[in-house]
Amino acid sequence: VTGAERVSEDGAPPPVRALVVEDDTGIAQSLVRGLERAGYTAQSVATGSAALEVDPVPDIVLLDLGLPDMDGLEVCRLLRRHDDLAIIVVTARGEECDRVAALGQGADDYLVKPFGLAELLDRIRAVLNPTAPVSPPLRYGPLALDARTRTVTVADEEIALTPKEFDVLKCLVADPGRVVTREEILERAGDGHRYGSAAVLDVHMAGLRRKLNVPGMIETIPGQGFRLTAPN
């Protein structure tokens, strides 16, 4: 049984068990909530030694490398003894050597803090089912968004977006022409604790508009939200 089948929404297969290893309680709680909303069975532990004792062994571990009791890389190496376990390590910005070392210790992928829930869920799906059929990029007018590679092009030119800008755009491209409310975007593109304010969303939206540079493509509907509109 592959990961993608197990997380499918028809409900029959057992849920994928996710373990969050994170000593920051606020981050851990919001990740567990987000994973549960996405259909996973999730729990968190705050130390490396607790992570090694979780029984039954989870299907996927989200492992913060900065732990209070053990070197995160050592935890990664010890977890790796389980063959069926997927590991995504989480590092702070700029710790490139840690990321390389973690991949050397058997991690399947890594995420750099801060990251959004949508990005995490994309990574988990990719790690659990690397041979999943590739879904084609979402296209709208000159815009193409590839959720698998997390790339965006406008008229075949790649646009460098921040992870948040990408997730916000993905919400709009997924349903072009419909007004997507601010609440929906915050729910789907936010991480639940760092990203709750409307003002922050406006900052991401302004960055997105500037980088896409297609006037009128993202319409603001006052009091409601945003809509992706095909430019003439």
Nearer to Ca ion, 90 or 124 (CB): 90
Cβ of residue 31: shortest distance to Ca ion, in angstroms?
Answer: 12
Alpha-carbon dihedral angle through residues 41, 32, 129, 9, given to the nearest 10 degrees: 60
Nearer to Ca ion, 90 or 173 (CB): 90
DSSP state of 85: -
Cβ of residue 90: shortest distance to Ca ion, in angstroms?
Answer: 8
Question: How far are the Cα atoms of 64, 86, 90, 111, 124 from residue 129, in angstroms, in the given order?
Answer: 22, 10, 20, 17, 8
Query: What is the contact mask toward Ca ion in residues 19 to 48, using x (rule: CB under 5 A)?
Result: ----x-------------------------
Cβ of residue 215: shortest distance to Ca ion, in angstroms?
Answer: 43
Nearer to Ca ion, 39 or 66 (CB): 66
Cβ of residue 72: shortest distance to Ca ion, in angstroms?
Answer: 8
Which H helix or E strand runs over 25?
Answer: helix 25-37
Distance CA 42, CA 105 (A): 24
Cβ of residue 56: shortest distance to Ca ion, in angstroms?
Answer: 25
Q: Which of residues 197-216 bind Ca ion (CB under 5 A)?
A: none
- Which residue's beta carbon is nearest to the bound Ca ion? 66
For residue 98, state whether it binds Ca ion (rule: CB under 5 A): no
Q: Is 194 left (phi over 0), alpha (psi -120 to 50) or beta?
A: alpha
Query: What is the contact mask toward Ca ion in residues 147 to 186, using x (rule: CB under 5 A)?
Result: ----------------------------------------
Nearer to Ca ion, 21 or 161 (CB): 21
Nearer to Ca ion, 91 or 173 (CB): 91
Backbone angles phi, psi at 174, to 5 degrees: -65, -25
Place of tokens 């702070």: 92
Q: Residue 177 is which amino acid?
A: G
For residue 123, give the 3-state DSSP assignment.
Answer: helix
Site size toward Ca ion (CB under 5 A) is: 3
Q: Which of residues 49-78 bind Ca ion (CB under 5 A)?
A: 64, 66
The closest of 137, 135, 129, 175 to 156, measured between CA atoms, is 137
Q: Which two tokens stand for residue 205?
A: 């939206």
Nearer to Ca ion, 92 or 134 (CB): 92
Sites of contact with Ca ion (CB under 5 A): 23, 64, 66
